[in-house]
Structure formats: structure tokens, C-alpha cells
Amino acid sequence: MEELNFEQIVGNTVSLAGHRFDVRACPDQYLGALSEIIGKPQFPLRVTAEQRTRQPFLVMILESPHVDEFIGDPGPAKGFTGDMIRNFLQEAINLQDVDGFGLVLVNAIQHQCSLGMSTSEHRDKIFRAVWAQGGQENFVSRLRSVLRPGDVVMNCCTKGNDFELNTPLRSLVEASMRHHFPEIQTIRRMHPASWRTKSWRGVAWRYSTEAKDNSGAKTESQPPAEELEARNKELESQLILLEKLATKDHAAFKAETEIAEIERSVATLSAPDALVTIKENEMVRGSSCTVLVMGDGSQRHMKTSTFDPDGSITTKAKSLVGSRIRTTCWDPKDSPGRWSSQGYFRNIYAAE
């Protein structure tokens, strides 16, 4: 299993202005039998997951370790999360015979994606970047080495803070497990940190690869194809702006941008970022799309039947894999960010 260069991925994803962070990996661990864990003040064991016994196991998946997990020797759920697991796990899953199960904790990403700061700062962006650059493969390899017949897998990853714009973190992990381990059935529960609230302890979150993955909430649907096509035709006359940008004629681009301001829509230009890979014919909100996976772990998508029927934009995107790129998206003038904030893109260009 190839080691992840976590420090390099972080450096390519966010600017930290000298902030130091822990680069150690938090190991997957076997923490003992559930009968010796539930209701106890501490976990009875902390040994490597490979040292698990032959009995059936509950394999709990968390997203990434935070601050408490790196006090002393790294280990999963060393702080408040561990307290919640020991106190409320039985309420969350109702296993009939806890004496027959042991517990293994596995972080989808073993490194400290929060970088020791608030999880709202960098955690989601770093998680997505690591996941896209070897983290998913690393997770699958580790999970394959741990699982045994009869095990129960419990996905307790958080959805993240940016779930309204990107696929929730827990759904990324769930999709990977369903693809690589189709024979297993997962139990989906909220992150143990939320179990302090009684009403969240037994809640099964709804699996979705869409944004806005709120439990019980409706997933936002894609606008009708007719609306998108009409909007596209109306804006085709403005595409010269994009051609000027592609040829780096910035004076012409600036002038025509000023003209575009009087139109109903304007081109929203993304910040430069590395294009990691391309996914073709990916289903997004019920439509076949070309999906760009960016260096920061985010994704941008384009409905090909409407915006790329001849495949020319997808072909151009393929030629730019590994390069820094910028994308454009048409947003209504009176509703800035309406489409670009949802991850749509219309065209792609090499960044300077």
C-alpha cells in the first residue's frame, strides 16, 4: 500500500503562512470486545487493527482524526468521540448480542485533515484533496485488510461543512465501500460526537451522492433541460469573451466584460486550481455529465447533452489533466453565483 504524501497534498491545497501541523498517521485500532467497552470510562485495548481476534467485529468508520487523537501516541476516538461511543453505542445500533462482537475504529483518512484548527477551516478541503489523490485507494486497501466474514460495518463519518456545494464526505466514503465491497451492508449513523443529543443516536442518515445531503431533506433537483438550453442559446453570443480569455487577450476580455454587464448574465471565472482527473458519463442529479475533480477535492460538472453534445469541451479537459485550469459558468446578473456555486461549469481554460 503506497504511503500518502500528506504534507505535500496540504501544501498544494491551502496556504498556511507558516502554520505547523501534525503529519503523523493515526492507525486503525482494535479497542476490545463491546461487552468490555459499553458503559466503561476507557477503552480496554488499543492495538493495531490487524491484531483483532476471530470473533465478529463492528468496524466503525470515522472521517479523519482531530486534535485529541494526536495527544501522545496517535489513536482514533481518544477524546469526546470516544466518550460518546462508550456511553451511547448500544442505543445507536441495538446489537442483539454485544458479547459476540469486538470493535475496530477506522478513519477514512488517517491524517489530521483539520490541521489542528477548527474543522470549519480546512478539514473538508483537505479531506477531499487527500481522497482524490490516493486517499480513497489507501482507505480501501486498509479496510480490505481488516474485514472478515460476519463483520458489521458502521459508517459514522460526518457529512462535512461544505455539503451544500459538494458530495458529503460520508457519501464519498459510502460510495467507495459499496463499489469495492458490494457484499457488505453498512449501518449508517450520525458521527458519535452528535450522540450527546439523544434524538440523534439511532438516526440513519440518507445516502446520497448529491449535494445538500440533509437527513430528511429534499435533494435539490437540476433545472429542466429546456430552461438550460434556452439560457445557453441566449448566452452563446457572449462566448467571444471566453475565446479572448483563452488567447490571453486581456484588454479585449476586460472591454467585453464591461459590455456583458448590461446583459442578463455574466461569466463567472473560477480561481486557478489543479485538474486532477476527469470522470465521463457520470450521473449527477439524474443527468449524464463530465465531472472535473480538482486539486482541492471539489468537483465541477457539466451536462454533456446540453452543453457538450460534440464532446469538444470534454476532449479539451482531458488534455489539461495535471495542469492548473480555470472554468467558467454563466450566472444571472441579478443572482450572482446561482449556478457556479452549485458546481456547474460551461468551459475550461489553462490558467497562466
- Residue 132 in grid coordinates: 482524490
Residues 6+ apart with CB under 8 A from 96: none
Query: Over 60: is that where the pLDDT of 235 sits?
Result: no
219 secondary structure, DSSP code = P
pLDDT in tens, 68-111: 999 999 999 999 999 999 999 989 987 665 567 999 999 999 99
How do residues 242-293 score in pLDDT, each as one tens digit?
Answer: 554 554 444 444 444 444 443 456 678 888 888 999 999 988 877 889 999 9
Read off the pTM. Answer: 0.61
In whole angstroms, give the CA distance from residue 32 to residue 244. 63
Going along the chain from its start, the domains and CATH numbers come out as 6-200 (3.40.470), 225-350 (no CATH)
Cβ distance 185 to 149 under 8 Å?
no
User: How many C-beta atoms lie closer than 10 Å to residue 327's C-beta?
Assistant: 26
Task: For residue 155, give the nearest of 108, 213, 208 by alpha carbon.
Answer: 108
**Model pLDDT for residues 25-79, shown as the tens digit of each residue:** 999 999 999 989 999 999 999 999 999 988 889 999 999 999 999 999 999 999 9
Nearest to 224 by CA among 165, 282, 285, 167: 285
Task: Let me know: does 78 contact 27? Beta carbons within 8 Å.
Answer: no
Confidence grade of residue 227 (pLDDT, cut at 50, 70, 90): very low
